Amino acid sequence: MKPPLPGFTKITRPKASHMEEDQDRAEDTLALLHQAGDRDNVACLIAAHASDLVISDRPHILKIYTLDRFTVLLRDDQPLTFSGKTQKRPLELLKALIALGGREVGVQTLIDVLWGDADGDAGQNSFNTTLHRLRKLLGEERALVVQDGRLTLSAHYVWVDAWAFSRMLGSIDGAIQIGDGARLEELTNRIFALYRAPFLGDIDAPWAVPMRERLRSRFLQHILQIGDHYGNVQQWRDAVRLYECALEINPLAEDLYRRLMTAYLHLDRRADALRVYQRCEQVLGTSFGVQPSHETRLLCDGLAIVIPNVVRDLA
């Protein structure tokens, strides 16, 4: 497992039984509603803490990680292990199901993406066999539900990091609206802990791309929103740490370089801002064979006018 990203405190909580956790969260929710003071604030408070709401009356039996190395944890957090290539197809079905949303995904859609070349009933038979093997592999029949020609990965029995990540992004919106800095810092820690790499980044199948790009876009959008909040309250050091951490995960996002340069400017660290530009220039040139955008170059040109000696020393 990767170490915590620099600049953010790792959030840890003491272990508790499932019932104790439910009671604590219920009490926290009631306290939040009392804090609201008026109905206009209630919706924002609920949104800010949405990722903590209990959505099941039982603990999750399975945990699936898709935002780093693909990992399945079974009962008691035991990692799924197997030998040989016999289980490749069941795990591919699981990955495709999550990539297509995980809930009420058409069986025919899954057949088309995984067994598109099959003739007649061969695709349906392959799906049925693979689903049976996947259920056996996971050891929980109720985790996968087929109803009305659609397959669902049950949220009552399965926790998926991509789902938790999406809920946390919604909570960030609420925390920003009510100006809850402590909650925002906690959520920022948690999204960095979850979003360590692109969704199923080691898979180049077309069916994985839309979810990967959707989560990447939402991650970037919310990082920029958090950065805007830090800028509005003049917390530029926090903004620097935020953008540096985000660039470790998404080094091709030019917006992050530009925001990081701006944050350094507000801290009167122009040499650091220029170094960020040079890093941006190198990454984009190596990866795409292009120069930074006109907007980014203008920001750098302004720096060059202010401190020409630094530019010469860095060249």
CB atoms within 10 A of CB 258: 22
CB atoms within 10 A of CB 180: 19
Would the pTM of this model clear 0.85, i.e. be above it?
Answer: no
pLDDT at 286 over 80: yes
Instruction: Tell me, rounded to whole angstroms, the distance of Cα 159 from its chain centroid.
Output: 14
Beta strands in 4-149 (DSSP E): 62-65, 71-73, 105-106, 144-147
- Evaluated on CA atoms 106, 108, 112, 114, the torsion sign reads positive
Beta bridge partners of 64: 72, 160
Query: Domains, the chain, ranges and CATH?
Result: 1-56+162-196+206-249 (no CATH), 62-155 (1.10.10.10), 251-315 (no CATH)
Q: How far apart are CA 125 and CA 118, in angstroms?
A: 10
Give residue-wise pLDDT tens across range 199-208: 999 898 999 9
User: Which amino acid is it at 117?
Assistant: D
With residues binned 3-state (H G I as helix, E B as strand, rest as coil), the percentages for the chain, rounded to 5, are 65, 5, 30
Beta bridge partners of 223: none
Give residue-wise pLDDT tens across range 293-314: 999 999 888 775 544 444 444 4
Stretch 234-257: mean pLDDT, rounded? 96
pLDDT at 49 over 60: no
What's the pLDDT score for residue 17? Answer: 35
Q: How far apart are CA 156 and CA 60, in angstroms?
A: 6
pLDDT at 53 over 80: no
What's the pLDDT score for residue 82? Answer: 67
Give the mean pLDDT of the chain.
81
pLDDT at 26 over 80: no
